[in-house]
Structure 1
Amino acid sequence: MTAQSNNVPLGIALMIATTMVFAFQDGVSRHLASEYNVLMVVMIRYWFFAAFVIALAVRSRGGLRAAIHTEQIWVQILRGVLLASEVCVAVLAFVLLGLIESTAVFISYPLLIAALSGPILGEQVGWRRWSAIAVGFIGVTIILEPGWGVFDPASVVPFIAATMFAIYGLLTRYVARRDRASTSFFYTGVAGAVVMTAVGLWFWEPMIAPDWGWMGVLCLTGVTGHWLLIRCYEAAEASAVQPFAYFQLMFVSIIGITVFGETIRLNVAIGAGLIVAAGLFTLWRERTKR
C-alpha cells in the first residue's frame, strides 16, 4: 500500500463534489421511488453497484481472490445487507417526508456512531462528546416535533435509516481491523445485490423509457459518488474532510426547493443547525484525541 498524500485542499474539493453527486442521486431516487416500488429501484441500482465493485476487485492488488478472502464473512455479509436495507428505508423517507426533512434527520448518523461506539466497539466516549450527542438529539427532536399535535410515525423513518447507517459504519470499523478496504467494499456491493435481488424481483414493475434513462443516471451517480469518495479518502485524512460532508444538506435543500417544491420549515432549520454543530464538534474532538 502506498502512503496517503494528505492533500487537504484536493480532499475537500473531492468531498464537496461527492456530496453534490449524492444529493443529485437522492433527488433521482425520490423521483423513481414515487413512481415505482422502492425495492425494485434499489435492486436495479445495486446490480450496477455490484458490477462496479467486482470490476474494482479484479483490478486491485491480488485480484478477485484477495478481495473475497475474509475470516469475518458473516459480519461482512451483515454489513452489505444492512446497508442495502438502509438505502431502502432512506429512499422511502424521501417519498414520505421529502428530501430536506429526511436529510436533516439523517445527518445525525455521526452522532449515533459516537454514541454506539462504546457498546459495540468498546471505545471510550467522554462527557464532551456525550454533551454534543445530547445537543444533536435535541436537534432531531425539534425536527420531528413529537409534542406538537398528532405525531406522524413517518417522521421516524429517516432516523431509523440513520441508525442503520451508523451501525453499518461501526461494523465497517470492526472488520477493518482484519480486512482490507477492498474486501469490505466488495461485500458491501455483492451482498447487497444478492439480498435486493431476492426481495426486489417480487416487486418488478414495467418502467417507461424516460424513467429507464433516470435509472441509468441513478446507477451512474451511485458509482461516481463512491469513486469520488474513494479518491477523497486517498487524497486526504478522513478527519480533515469529513466536516465538509454536511454540504450534502445544502445541495439536497437546493434540489428539494427547486425541483420538488419543498420548503424549509423553521423547526427543520433550527434542528439541522444543532445537529451540524454537534457533529462538527464531535469530529473535532475525535481529531484532537488522535
Structure 2
Amino acid sequence: MSPKALHARFLALSPAASGALWMTLAACLLATLSLLVRSISGDLHPFEIAFFRNVAQLVLMLPWVWMAGIAVIRTTRTWAHVRRSAFGIGAMLTWFSVLTMMPIAEATAISFSAPLFTTAGAALFLREQVGVRRWLATVVGFAGVLLIIRPGFHEVGQPQLLALLAAALIAGAMLSNKSLAKTEPPNAMVVWMGVYMSIFSLPPALTVWTWPEADVWIWLVVLGFVATAAHLAINRAFGAADASFIAPFGFVQIPFVAAIGFIAYAEVPDLWTWAGSAVIVASGIYIARREAKHRQAVAVQPALGVATLGVEKV
C-alpha cells in the first residue's frame, strides 16, 4: 500500500480509532525516551537532561513556526499553557530522576497509575461522565499499583514514592492537554510547551550544570526528536477523543519498555511487577470498553427518538 493510500485510510478512521492509534504511537516513543534518558544519565544529571530535551523540542518546532507564520501560535489561553507546562516540568524532573533509581519496567508500571488519575480528573475537572463501573475499574487499577509496590511486604522507598508523584503530575499534564486541545492546534501546543518548559527547567539545571561531551550532544538531539514526536502524537490523540478513553492505550508502553530494559540492561521484572501491570492493564481496557459503549449509546439515542430515556452509566 502506498503512503498516500495509507494516509487516506488513516483519515477515514473514526475519532476514537485515530486517537487510540496516536496514543499507541506515543506510548512506544515514550518508552524509547525512557531508555535514552537512562543512557544519557551516566553523563548528565536528569535535571540537565530535562533542560536540553525541552530546548531541543523548541528548536525543532521553530522551522514550522517560521514557515507557517507567527500567527499559528497566537493564543488567548496563555495561563492554560503555563499550567500545562508547570505540571509537565514537575512530572519530567521527577520521572527522569526515577529512571536513574530503579528498573525501567517497574518504574513504568508504577507510573501507569497516571491514566487512573486521569480518569478521576476527567470526571472532576473536565465534567466528563464517569459512571460507577469505571470508578470501580479505577480502584482495581490502583490495587494493581499496590501489588507492585507491596507496602508492608516490600520496602517502599524514595524511588517508588517519586514514581507515584510523577504519575499524579503526568495526569495533571494529560488533563491540561485535553483542555487545551479543544481550542489549540496540536503543533502550537508543542511550541508553547517547549517555550515554557525550557524556562521552567533552566533553574534546576543550573544547580547541577556540566557541559556535555561531544558524543552526548548527538544523543540529546535524538532525545529531542523522540520527545517532540511523542508529544505531537499525544496532542493529536487527546484532540481526537475523550481523555478517559484515550489514556488506557498508553499501556502499550509497559511490555515495550520491559523488552527495552531486558535487552539494554538485562533487567527482568519480577512476578509482582507483571501481576500488578496485568491488573492495571485490565482495568484500563475495561475503562476503554465502557467508554466506547457509552459513546455509542449517546450517538444512537437521538435517532431512536428517546431523548428522555436515560443512558446507563458506565
- If the length of structure 2 is used for normalisation, what is the TM-score? 0.79
Query: 2:226 corresponds to which residue?
Result: 221
Query: 2:54 corresponds to which residue?
Result: 46
- Check 1:69–1:58 CA distance in 2 against 1; reply closer, same or farther (3 A cut): farther
Query: 2:145 corresponds to which residue?
Result: 140
Which has the larger displacement, 252-261 or 147-156? 147-156
Which has the larger displacement, 34-43 or 129-138? 34-43
1:197 CA drift (Å): 2.1
Q: Within 5 Å, give how 1:24-173 maps onto structure 2.
A: 24-60=32-68, 63-70=69-76, 72-173=77-178
1:5 to 11, 15, 18: 11
> Any unmatched runs of 5+ in structure 1?
none
Deviations 1:38-57 (A, max 9, x none): 11111011101112334334
SS at structure 1 position matched to 2:128 = coil
Deviations 1:18-46 (A, max 9, x none): 43332222101012224321111110111
Q: Tell me which of the two structures has the higher relative contact order, counting C-alpha pairs closer than 8 angstroms and 6 or more residues apart.
A: 1
Query: 2:204 corresponds to which residue?
Result: 199
The count of residues paired between Structure 1 and Structure 2 equals: 283
- If the length of structure 1 is used for normalisation, what is the TM-score? 0.85
Q: Distance in 1 between matches of 2:237 and 2:67?
A: 19
Which has the larger displacement, 80-89 or 273-282? 80-89
Specify the code of the residue in structure 2 equivalent to 1:221. V
1:248 to 250, 253, 257: 253
Q: Distance in 1 between matches of 2:285 and 2:266?
A: 29
Query: 2:31 corresponds to which residue?
Result: 23
1:228 CA drift (Å): 5.1
SS at structure 1 position matched to 2:129 = coil
Q: Distance in 2 between matches of 1:20 and 1:150?
A: 30
Query: 1:266 corresponds to which residue?
Result: 271
Specify the code of the residue in structure 1 equivalent to 2:197. G
Q: Distance in 2 between matches of 1:244 and 1:177?
A: 20
Aligned partners of 2:43 and 2:216 also within 8 Å:
no
RMSD: 2.8
Specify the code of the residue in structure 2 equivalent to 1:208. E
- Check 1:11–1:181 CA distance in 2 against 1; reply closer, same or farther (3 A cut): closer
Q: Distance in 2 between matches of 1:211 and 1:91?
A: 17
Q: Distance in 2 between matches of 1:80 and 1:250?
A: 28
Deviations 1:235-271 (A, max 9, x none): x767887654322211211111111121111110000
Aligned partners of 1:136 and 1:279 also within 8 Å:
yes
Deviations 1:195-234 (A, max 9, x none): 1123323321132333223222212222333455567789
SS at structure 2 position matched to 1:97 = coil
Q: Distance in 2 between matches of 1:133 and 1:194?
A: 35
Q: Distance in 2 between matches of 1:143 and 1:117?
A: 25
Q: Which has the larger radius of gyration?
A: 2
Q: Distance in 1 between matches of 2:111 and 2:100?
A: 14
Q: Distance in 2 between matches of 1:51 and 1:172?
A: 21
1:153 CA drift (Å): 3.0
Specify the code of the residue in structure 2 equivalent to 1:67. I
- Check 1:78–1:238 CA distance in 2 against 1; reply closer, same or farther (3 A cut): closer
Query: 1:283 corresponds to which residue?
Result: 288
Q: Distance in 2 between matches of 1:84 and 1:95?
A: 17
Deviations 1:55-85 (A, max 9, x none): 334444xx32341321x31221121122122
> Any unmatched runs of 5+ in structure 2?
1-9, 296-314
